[in-house]
C-alpha cells in the first residue's frame, strides 16, 4: 500500500470502519511512512478535540419538561413548572413552537 492508497483510508481506519485486512495493511504502511503517520496523529488529535464533552450541548430543563423527561430535583419533591410534566405526545404547553422568530443571518 502506498500513500495515495493509504491517505483516503486513514479516516475509515481511525473510525473503526475498515475491515481487518485493510486495517493491517494500513498499519504496515504507517510503520514505514512518517508522512502518513503524522497525518494519522493529526486526525486522531482532531478526534480527541471534537470528543471534548465541553463541546456538547446538554438538553435544557425546559425541554426535559416539554418531552416529559425526569427533571433534576423533581424526584425529591420539587415543584413542577406550569405546563410541565406532560407526556411525549403532549401538545405544546405554551404555544411557543408555532411562533417563528426572526433570525440573524448565519455568519
Rounded CA-CA distance 27/56 in Å is 32
- For the bound state, the minimum distance from the C-beta of residue 35 to another protein, rounded and expressed in Å, comes to 8
Which member of 27, 28, 63, 83 binds another protein (CB under 8 A)? 63
Q: Which ranges constitute the DSSP H helices of the chain?
A: 3-14, 20-32, 34-50, 61-67
Which member of 31, 79, 95, 100 binds another protein (CB under 8 A)? 100
Which member of 19, 31, 79, 103 binds another protein (CB under 8 A)? 103
Nearer to another protein, 17 or 27 (CB): 17
Rule CB under 8 A: is residue 15 a binding residue for another protein? Answer: yes
Amino acid at each position: 500500500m502506498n500513500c495515495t492508497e493509504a491517505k483516503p483510508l486513514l479516516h475509515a481506519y481511525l473510525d473503526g470502519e475498515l475491515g481487518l485486512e485493510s486495517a493491517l495493511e494500513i498499519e504496515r504502511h504507517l510503520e514505514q511512512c512518517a508522512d502518513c503517520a503524522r497525518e494519522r496523529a493529526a486526525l486522531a488529535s482532531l478526534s480527541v478535540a471534537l470528543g471534548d464533552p465541553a463541546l456538547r450541548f446538554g438538553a435544557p430543563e425546559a425541554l426535559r419538561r416539554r418531552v416529559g423527561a425526569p427533571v433534576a430535583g423533581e424526584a425529591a419533591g420539587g415543584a413542577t413548572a406550569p405546563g410541565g410534566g406532560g407526556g411525549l405526545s403532549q401538545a405544546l404547553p405554551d404555544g411557543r413552537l408555532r411562533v417563528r422568530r426572526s433570525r440573524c443571518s448565519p455568519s
